[in-house]
Amino acid sequence: MTDFTKLFEGFGQIRAGVIGDIMLDTYLWGHVERISPEAPVPVVSLDRREYRIGGAGNVALNLASLGARVAAFSVIGKDADGESLEGMLEANGIETGYLTRSGGRITTNKARVMGRNQQMMRLDSETTADLATAEEDELLDQLRIYLEREKPQVVIFEDYNKGVLTARVIRESLALCRHHGVITAVDPKRKNFFSYTGVTIFKPNLKEVREGLNLLVDDVQLPVLRHIHEQLAAQLRHDISFITLSEKGVFYQKGEESAQVSSHLRNIADVSGAGDTVIAVASLVYAATRDVRIMAEVANIAGGLVCEEVGTAAISRERLLQECGRLLG
């Protein structure tokens, strides 16, 4: 039986890097009392603004919330949003010294207008073009310095298709990590779905797998999922498939070991950021234990817990520990 208290205490010894599209999430909370006389749209009276760390930054935030020593790698703009984001990361104990500030890009900001705990509209401010060669060079140099200096146990790639994880950045970053014996994990998007050759943990959701492999099947029974792993492994030559199945839980396979872990009953408020939490927890647990079953079970619980919160939110270390003891102990 796993001693979860001892496992969670060990998270403080794990060094983890997160590379990808870091963004700022802005929430504009308000209420609607009338329709605009200018157009048939609701008038939202703002009550408060709230700023949260999003994208790859939310992965880093989840890792830090669990006690890991975290460094962030990305290219953000030389703008007020970038300054705010950097300050928020530092306030949460995340190393920002490896971030690159570029005058040729703007910091991604997703502004959500919220009424009665529901999203009414989203306004995106972003640069989605691939990094310029000089920006790729600087990002890779920063990662190289980090790997040599800090000797982390795991590096996570969090891809939101905003241009940071180019084919070259992915390829050379994975090579650097392999050279240093570092576990790698990825939450992929379709654009570079098969660029992560040799990654340790490949964590798409079922929709991304269907798109990446051009599958039409709706069946998510274990034999079908095992066949999907085989198709992925034929192209990626990775170690572990870890596929999130929404309300049906998660599937994992490493070598011949595979299983589908069912989800636990939750009061779902918002699925935003659940994938960030799952990849963060899975990577951290695997780095600490090398146990793929425990990895899947703990990450599955974590993903359900954050869905009870509105908007992107980091997992609570204490609550996750409590739920692991209750559901797995």
User: Who's near 49: CB < 8 A, 6+ residues apart?
Assistant: 26, 27, 28, 29
Residue 293 host element (H or E): helix 292-306
The residue among 314, 327, 323, 204 whose CA lies nearest residue 262 is 327
User: Who's near 301: CB < 8 A, 6+ residues apart?
Assistant: 264, 320, 323, 324, 327, 328
Radius of gyration for the alpha carbons in the chain, expressed in angstroms and rounded: 20
Task: Give the active site residues.
Answer: 276
The DSSP output letter for 191 is G
Residue 188 and residue 196: Cα distance in Å, rounded?
8
* Helices vs. strands in the chain: H and E counts, helices first: 10, 14
The DSSP output letter for 131 is P
Asked whether the beta carbons of 288 and 14 are under 8 A apart, the reply is yes
The residue among 299, 301, 295 whose CA lies nearest residue 266 is 301
Residue 275 and residue 265: Cα distance in Å, rounded?
18
The DSSP output letter for 205 is B
Helix or strand or coil: residue 311?
A: coil
Q: What is the DSSP string of 52-96?
A: EEEEHHHHHHHHHHTT-EEEEE-EEESSHHHHHHHHHHHHTT-B-
Q: Rounded to the nearest 10 degrees, what angle do helices 56-65 and 80-91 cross at? A: 20
